[in-house]
Structure 1
Amino acid sequence: MPGGDGAWGALVCTGPAMALPSAGLLPGVLLVADALALVLLAPLVPVLAPLGVMGVWLEAALRFPVLAAATWLLAPRRPSRATAAAVTVATTPAVFGTFQHLLGPPGAGPGLLAAAAPAWLGVAHAAAALALLAWAAPPAPGGVPETPGDIPKAPDTVWRTLALTWEERKVLGAAFLCLVLAIVGEMSGPYVTGKVLDAIGSGDGLTTGAVGMVAAAGATSVLFSGCRGSFFTLLEARLRQNLSFRLFSHLVHQDLDFFQGTPAAELLAQFSLEVPRVCMSVPTGANQLLRSLIMALVVGTFMVGLAPGLALLALLEVPFGIATHRIQSARKQALQRSMMEASARTAAGVQESVAAIETIRIFSAEKEEEEQHRCNLAKELKLKQQMELELAFFTIVHRVRGDWE
């Protein structure tokens, strides 16, 4: 709105930018401290090596105090997850050494990091740096502020969402039952097919019962997979109905000061974007979590029984996949939040311009209003372009992982 000292000429359109994480120095400090700790532990290698798994864990316990003490060198800028990072760096070699001892070939015992090649130290710290990047809360891009500092955030949002979901526990239980039956049918398909092929190879021939078993396994998987999706869709619809009603009921009981300080466009954006996103994330997350958990348990059991070495190799890929998904989810949430706030800002600007059209005409500020609206639209466009670029990047990463697997 006009009325400032040359404020109309100071409009600047800025695009999305990423700030350096506060924990940027932590990986380097941990690497130097760990190298020093391994030098000090070198005389103890002859004592720890004969202990096998116990020696590896003793080495981790001796490295941890040095790593934890090194994190305090960053005070008062010490990151909040510095202790967790030190624990990760100290225990990662011991954990994978233990899996190698349990799942590897006979006689393949874990090795001490102090006696290993320096490259293994770099690998361990690269995994820790990736974990720090995955768990760090990324800043909101585009210069769009998040929740203002004078507005407290709800500390129990997750628990409220889970409590709201628990009210639909019957639908969730039915979806879980269909999920289990669908996985049973999916896993029994290859087993039944193998039995039929064995019967054909032994000369028994193809019987009607064998064909019926294969068809039943496939039909079970398809039928209950569809039922699972239907129940999760029903859960999403009921969550949206309940959450929308509760939010509206809470809104109409607010004080008048709340409505005077909150633009109507922001409230509309919250209802039109946040409610569907929350109601979609809960069923989708539960569906993926339960399916992945059951599949991991079943497939992992078969892999360990058939080829322990391959199971260990597949286990090494899991942290990278988790970190990639974590980074993608965090970046997607930050960009969506910024996109929603930018859209609300653009809509609020349009409403203010329409409401004050007479004042704009009096001061001949049409060009300034057009420039302000152009800047708001440019910010939205840049955010959308960044979302598409990051989506393309993570799609390439997922396809590369799929080809590697």
Structure 2
Amino acid sequence: MPLPLTLRLGCPLLLCDLALLALLGWGVPSLAPLGLPATWLEAAVRFLGLWRAWGLLAPDQPHLSPPRALTALCLLPPLYLTLRSCLPLPDVPPALLAGAPWAWLLLSYGAVGLAQLTWGALGQGDRTGGPGAEDTERESSATLRRLVGLSRPDVPFLSGAFVFLAIAVIGETFIPYYTGRVIDILGSAYDPDAFATAIVLMSLASFGSSLAAGCRGGLFMFTFSRLNIRTRCQLFSSLVRQDLAFFQQVKTGDLTSRLSKDTTMMSRSVPANANIFLRSLVKALGLYGFMLGLSWRLTLLTLVEMPLTMAAEKVYDARHQAVLRAIQDSMARSTEVVRESVSSIETVRSFATEEEESRRYEAALAETHRLKNRRDLERALYLLFRRLLQLAVQVLMLYCGHQQIRAGLLTKGSLVSFILYQGDVGSYVQTLVYMYGDLLSNVGAAEKVFEYLDREPAVCTDGTRAPESLQGHVSFRNVSFSYPSRPDRQVLKAVSFELRPGEVTALVGLNGSGKSTCVGLLERFYEPQAGEILLDGAPIREYEHRYLHRQVALVGQEPVLFSGSIRENIAYGLGGRGEEQVTRAARAAHASGFIAELDSGFETDVGEKGGQLSAGQKQRIAIARALIRQPAVLILDEATSALDVESECAIRQSVLSRGPRTVLVIAHCMQTVEDADRIVVLEGGAVAEEGTHAELMGRKGPYYRLVQRDLAE
């Protein structure tokens, strides 16, 4: 709510409240015997009356809800009186505010007014921001609700942790109270029974609170671990289902950072922040209750520290969040430098750029170090201000406490208890204020994770078609395509050709003509913008995802093997394939010879990305990995480029002799496609010509020029 409107309506609302209190004052003699129920009844009547008055005073502002100050003004007195009545303290104030002296009314209005002004000045009250601010707040609230929803399976553990939290807080709250009691007993006429009782109760409270605190922390940490693992699994499962364009646009370092750091931060936000926040909130309320019972004057004095701490915390949080985001981005960049250098170590070594890569990594670390130094400096300045403020308040409180002891309003033991309470309550209030900023940082991390969790891949994999038999007849019909990263450049332009069962079709053309793009579309790495690709007369998007990729197998020029044995790589994704099937596939790929020469045979570990094997050996294992699936369509994209002529001929005969299989061959060397049943020539993203080798050579068109160029090279 705008501040001028608050000032304009504040005085009329104050008069309405005074009128309500005057009317309620007539019923004091009859309501006073009811005690606390009468107090809450009075608060309810005041709240309803002020709510109605707000509607009458602001008819032109129907979208504005009554300010929170109304709720605080009506509910704080009964809350305070209820808490005070639970303690065996003298000088209990009147049960009804209507029968209280004017000092109580002024104190009530002054406290609520100061709190409301401070809240509004800090920008936390009724907000005046535009639609953008409201959208941001709404998104943050939705993110928090999703975070809480992720913890739903851990409700039993969290419930147990909350029970232990309540026990620990109650025990810790009573320790300073009994400490003051012991001092009063020792300072007056010594009573052995009262002294022993106080010591025993203080020991029980200390032991019980310590035991409960340990159980609470253990349950919260257990919950955090479960939530972290669950969140990482969900994120990784979502990432591996994304389309290929997503991984081309997003760096690996960013994804690794989300999986390792951001998931940890967001997983910690619910159990850890709930642990700290609830503990601090309950302790602060309980301690303030005891402090009000000991000396309401000193309690009001300690409240001066709160708005100043909140203001400093707000300024610090704004700067801290910006620095944290910069640090996260900087760490992601340094991780990306390491990944690129390690994964391309051969290139680094071949160009002798070790020093350049080291300097690049050092520069990334230096930027991170600079940002962390800035974060630490701002943190140190903030802590210095906060501790100086605490010291000033404590000195002022000791002076006022001394004056109250001299006036007989406070005992020495009560002052000691109050000092102990005040030292604790300040840290808990500061923790509550800090938790807001920490929660914002975790929400920021959670928003990035949820962005990936909610992302729908551009290529859908929800097809259901899975026939028992498949011929493998593939048809490209007027397929046009542009990569998502370059939508203005059309890679394929109305491409149409067919792959028939039992035939070998070769796809040839210069670099950039669209050969690999055709393979990517057939493998459903991308979705064409126009046209369609049919498999046995049905669009390939209708086929079930796993079924399609068992029937359409791809072997690339640089196949990727996974860490593990040769057997595991050949049977990758197929589960329990037997020894005979693996051996047969290796023999068909002309790989059984070199595998038998290895010390561990099929159990030999290939190393990371197959680094323990040569390029030709990796290609043969990749061919075996495709053949063991017995696909209806086999795509060989320069799959034998690292093999010798003998091995290449043996593999070609083995592949072509296995039934009416559809084979698509992509090659740059024209001699490897001369025996193909059909040759399709791509030029500039379109089909230039197609036919057999003899037919195309007779036309002396694009294919003829490719052959002549190949011979010249």
* TM-score for the superposition, normalised by structure 1: 0.61
Q: What is the CA RMSD across the aligned residues, in angstroms?
A: 5.4
Aligned length: 337
Q: Which runs of 5+ in 2 are unaligned?
A: 22-45, 78-96, 130-138, 395-713
1:273, distance to aligned residue in structure 2 (A): 1.0
Partner residue of 1:131?
123
Match runs of 1:194-213 below 5 Å: 194-196=180-182, 201-205=188-192, 210-213=198-201
Partner residue of 1:245?
233
User: Contact 1:131–1:323 at 8 Å: present in 2 too?
Assistant: no
Match runs of 1:15-34 below 5 Å: none
**In structure 2, do the counterparts of structure 1 residues 172 and 132 end up closer, same or farther at CA, with 3 Å as the change threshold?**
closer
Partner residue of 1:346?
334
Partner residue of 1:162?
148
Partner residue of 1:290?
278
In the alignment, the residues of structure 1 paired with residue 246 and residue 355 of structure 2 have an alpha-carbon distance, to the nearest angstrom, of 32
The DSSP-based 3-state class of the residue aligned with 1:254 is coil
In the alignment, the residues of structure 2 paired with residue 320 and residue 339 of structure 1 have an alpha-carbon distance, to the nearest angstrom, of 28
Q: Deviations over 1:356-389 (max 9, x none)?
A: 9859987x99998777656534432321111111
Q: Does the alignment pair 1:273 with 2:261?
A: yes
Match runs of 1:32-47 below 5 Å: none
1:183, distance to aligned residue in structure 2 (A): 1.6
Q: Deviations over 1:166-203 (max 9, x none)?
A: 32112111111111111221122234445555555444
Q: Does the alignment pair 1:382 with 2:370?
A: yes
**In structure 2, do the counterparts of structure 1 residues 267 and 155 end up closer, same or farther at CA, with 3 Å as the change threshold?**
farther
Larger radius of gyration: 2
In the alignment, the residues of structure 2 paired with residue 295 and residue 199 of structure 1 have an alpha-carbon distance, to the nearest angstrom, of 26
**In structure 2, do the counterparts of structure 1 residues 154 and 358 end up closer, same or farther at CA, with 3 Å as the change threshold?**
farther
The one-letter amino acid of 1:205's match is P
Match runs of 1:2-401 below 5 Å: 106-108=101-103, 110=106, 128-131=120-123, 156-196=142-182, 201-205=188-192, 210-352=198-340, 355=344, 358=347, 375-401=363-389
The DSSP-based 3-state class of the residue aligned with 1:131 is coil
1:245, distance to aligned residue in structure 2 (A): 1.9
Q: Comparing both structures, which one devotes a greater share of its residues to helix?
A: 1
1:311, distance to aligned residue in structure 2 (A): 3.5
In the alignment, the residues of structure 1 paired with residue 17 and residue 204 of structure 2 have an alpha-carbon distance, to the nearest angstrom, of 54
**In structure 2, do the counterparts of structure 1 residues 259 and 209 end up closer, same or farther at CA, with 3 Å as the change threshold?**
same
The one-letter amino acid of 1:171's match is F
**In structure 2, do the counterparts of structure 1 residues 386 and 52 end up closer, same or farther at CA, with 3 Å as the change threshold?**
farther
1:257, distance to aligned residue in structure 2 (A): 2.2
The DSSP-based 3-state class of the residue aligned with 2:102 is coil
The one-letter amino acid of 1:337's match is R
**In structure 2, do the counterparts of structure 1 residues 367 and 225 end up closer, same or farther at CA, with 3 Å as the change threshold?**
closer
Q: Which runs of 5+ in 1 are unaligned?
A: 1-29, 69-82, 138-152
User: Contact 2:334–2:365 at 8 Å: present in 1 too?
Assistant: yes
The DSSP-based 3-state class of the residue aligned with 1:253 is coil
The one-letter amino acid of 2:191's match is D
The one-letter amino acid of 2:171's match is G
**In structure 2, do the counterparts of structure 1 residues 194 and 367 end up closer, same or farther at CA, with 3 Å as the change threshold?**
closer
**In structure 2, do the counterparts of structure 1 residues 331 and 315 end up closer, same or farther at CA, with 3 Å as the change threshold?**
same
In the alignment, the residues of structure 2 paired with residue 41 and residue 218 of structure 1 have an alpha-carbon distance, to the nearest angstrom, of 47
User: Contact 1:52–1:110 at 8 Å: present in 2 too?
Assistant: no
The one-letter amino acid of 1:169's match is V
**In structure 2, do the counterparts of structure 1 residues 283 and 124 end up closer, same or farther at CA, with 3 Å as the change threshold?**
closer
User: Contact 2:221–2:272 at 8 Å: present in 1 too?
Assistant: no
Taking only the aligned residue pairs, the percentage that are identical comes to 30
In the alignment, the residues of structure 2 paired with residue 216 and residue 123 of structure 1 have an alpha-carbon distance, to the nearest angstrom, of 38
Q: Deviations over 1:57-96 (max 9, x none)?
A: 99x979x98xx9xxxxxxxxxxxxxx89x969xx69x969
1:286, distance to aligned residue in structure 2 (A): 0.6
Q: Comparing both structures, which one devotes a greater share of its residues to strand?
A: 2
1:326, distance to aligned residue in structure 2 (A): 4.5
Q: Which has the higher contact order (CA 8 A, sep 6+)?
A: 1
In the alignment, the residues of structure 2 paired with residue 312 and residue 358 of structure 1 have an alpha-carbon distance, to the nearest angstrom, of 70
In the alignment, the residues of structure 2 paired with residue 333 and residue 236 of structure 1 have an alpha-carbon distance, to the nearest angstrom, of 23
**In structure 2, do the counterparts of structure 1 residues 204 and 155 end up closer, same or farther at CA, with 3 Å as the change threshold?**
closer
